[in-house]
């Protein structure tokens, strides 16, 4: 609380000094240290940002790590979208380790776009079953970032080894249009259901037996074919434009997939700037969906909460809280400035999730709502990177969620 009050004091002080200049966290630190800014220096290019993260989960222990994002330009600012590379490392007191790297790189004039997501980990989730509309316990689950702080009767911790390699290459075929394809490798091994016993079966084990998967290990490997359309003016914090993508995925036995399956996934984002004087006053919508066309996929690969590359989808619930063979997510977010120098801003958001199961429950039959508000602190003005602190509440679930850069 003291640190927030200090930041607000610095913002108010900056109003009287320079109402129109943009300030980020480094400017505030210089002001606190009474270090004068070099006004003659050339503005710095976006660099590397590092944000520490910490949490606690009874199953995984004390969770410690860091997230880093680097933004850079490989062509002219007018014709080339900024590129972004992110790296995350997490270690817990129970010897669980996760390393992840993601990139979204645009070559000059956006001729080619490379998107990738690599992960190697011994990690885990707290599972709550499959499908939307499930009964909740009487006590609400409180979450700190990705993990609930207590493991209740309706929660089923799962730990596992995980290797992911996803790479897609897009070629520009017309203004704002890209066509591409790639490969997706997902391998789970040494899966441990912590609540599994000879007298008690977990949702993961029951689903695996129903769909002919070994509950100890399985793979989901295949090819991806995508069509993308993008007019958003910035990949990290857009003030306007559209981002849309349609992807068809086919999982193939000759690539090592345990079973064959096909899925259709699409994503749509739209941003409206509501003020010419303050373009950072934005109304944004986000829709993400995945539909099973044929076959089935392993339990830990079911689409659901946090299925986006940065695990930001569905704040209010932990990763995988709502999931199923077919899944859809909707979110509306209002972003508004708080300080005139853009250092501090806020958001309000509302979201809905729905999922089917592998029995009788259909997608769009039940809905899981969530709503929240949050604070944004401008971390680096050159790349528009922000530190995000959100409080969100869903049905039977609430929590505080941290992040680096906007959720979408």
Please give the pLDDT value at position 66. Answer: 85
Confidence bin at 7 (pLDDT 50/70/90): very low
Q: Which residues contact 193 (CB under 8 A, 6 or more apart)?
A: 156, 157, 158, 202, 204, 205, 215
One CATH from 2.40.50.100, 1.20.58.220, 2.40.160.50, 3.40.50.10310 for 2-404: 2.40.160.50
At 218-277, the pLDDT tens digits run 999 999 999 999 999 888 899 999 999 999 999 999 999 999 999 999 999 999 999 988
At 73-83, the pLDDT tens digits run 898 888 888 88
Long-range contacts of 370-374 (CB under 8 A, 24+ apart): 370/314, 370/315, 370/316, 370/317, 370/394, 370/395, 370/397, 371/316, 372/315, 372/316, 372/348, 373/346, 373/347, 373/348, 373/349, 374/346, 374/347, 374/348, 374/349
Let me know how long the chain is: 408
| The two three-digit tokens of residue 209, written as one number | 């037996």
Q: How far apart are CA 302 and CA 141, in angstroms?
A: 22
Find the helix or strand (DSSP H, E) in which 398 lies.
strand 397-404
Count the neighbouring beta carbons within 10 Å of the beta carbon of residue 26: 14
Q: Which residues contact 384 (CB under 8 A, 6 or more apart)?
A: 234, 236, 237, 378
290 CA to centre of own chain: 16
Where does residue 85 fall: left (phi above 0), alpha (psi -120 to 50 degrees), or beta otherwise? beta
| The two three-digit tokens of residue 18, written as one number | 């320079």
Determine what percent of the chain is predicted with pLDDT higher than 90.
58
With beta carbons less than 8 A apart as the criterion, state whether 376 and 347 touch. Answer: yes
More confident residue, 252 or 198: 252
Please give the pLDDT value at position 44. Answer: 55
Q: Give this prediction's pTM.
A: 0.86
Domain residue spans of the chain: 2-404
- Is residue 41 over pLDDT 60? no
Please give the pLDDT value at position 12. Answer: 44
Q: Around 181, how many Cα atoms within 13 Å sit in the side-chain half-sphere?
A: 5
- Is residue 21 over pLDDT 70? yes
Q: How far apart are CA 372 and CA 241, in angstroms?
A: 24
At 371-403, the pLDDT tens digits run 999 999 998 887 888 889 999 999 989 999 888
| The two three-digit tokens of residue 94, written as one number | 């129970």
Q: How far apart are CA 277 and CA 337, in angstroms?
A: 11
Start-to-end CA distance of the chain, whole Å, equals: 27
Where does residue 190 fall: left (phi above 0), alpha (psi -120 to 50 degrees), or beta otherwise? left
Q: How far apart are CA 107 and CA 87, in angstroms?
A: 20
| The two three-digit tokens of residue 314, written as one number | 């569905």
Please give the pLDDT value at position 243. Answer: 96
With beta carbons less than 8 A apart as the criterion, state whether 151 and 139 touch. Answer: no
Please report, for residues 38, 55, 152, 171, 286, the alpha-carbon distance to residue 393 in angstroms, rounded to integers and kept in the order given: 44, 18, 18, 40, 18
């Amino acid at each position: 609380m003291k640190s927030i009050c200090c930041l607000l004091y610095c913002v108010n002080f900056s109003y009287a000094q320079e109402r129109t200049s943009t300030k980020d966290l480094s400017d505030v630190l210089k002001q606190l240290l009474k270090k004068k800014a070099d006004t003659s220096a050339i503005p710095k290019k976006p660099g590397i940002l590092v944000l520490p993260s910490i949490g606690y989960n009874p199953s995984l222990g004390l969770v410690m790590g860091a997230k880093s994002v680097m933004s850079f330009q490989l062509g002219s600012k007018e014709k080339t979208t900024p590129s972004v590379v992110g790296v995350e490392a997490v270690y817990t007191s129970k010897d669980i380790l996760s390393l992840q790297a993601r990139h979204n790189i645009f070559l000059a004039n956006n001729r080619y776009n490379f998107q990738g997501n690599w992960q190697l980990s011994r990690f885990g989730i707290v599972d709550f079953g499959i499908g939307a509309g499930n009964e909740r316990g009487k006590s609400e689950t409180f979450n700190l970032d990705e993990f609930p702080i207590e493991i209740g009767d309706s929660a089923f911790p799962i730990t596992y080894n995980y290797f992911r390699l996803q790479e897609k290459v897009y070629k520009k075929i017309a203004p704002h249009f890209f066509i591409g394809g790639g490969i997706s490798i997902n391998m789970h091994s040494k899966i441990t259901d912590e609540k599994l016993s000879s007298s008690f079966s977990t949702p993961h084990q029951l689903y695996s037996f129903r769909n002919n998967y070994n509950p100890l290990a399985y793979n989901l490997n295949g090819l991806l074919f995508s069509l993308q359309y993008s007019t958003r003016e910035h990949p990290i914090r857009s003030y306007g434009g559209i981002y849309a993508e349609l992807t068809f995925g086919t999982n193939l036995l000759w690539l090592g997939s345990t079973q064959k399956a096909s899925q259709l996934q699409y994503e749509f984002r739209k941003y409206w700037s509501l003020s010419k004087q303050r373009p950072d006053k934005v109304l944004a919508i986000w829709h993400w969906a995945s539909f099973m066309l044929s076959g089935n996929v392993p339990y830990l690969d079911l689409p659901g909460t946090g299925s986006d590359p940065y695990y930001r989808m569905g704040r209010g619930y932990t990763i995988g809280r709502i999931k199923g063979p077919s899944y859809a997510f909707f979110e509306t977010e209002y972003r508004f400035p708080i300080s005139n120098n853009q250092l501090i801003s806020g958001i309000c958001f509302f979201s809905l999730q729905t999922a089917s199961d592998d029995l009788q429950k259909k997608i769009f039959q039940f809905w899981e709502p969530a709503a929240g508000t949050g604070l944004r602190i401008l971390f680096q003005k050159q790349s528009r990177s922000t530190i995000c602190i959100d409080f969100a509440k869903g049905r039977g679930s609430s929590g505080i969620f941290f992040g680096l850069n906007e959720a979408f």
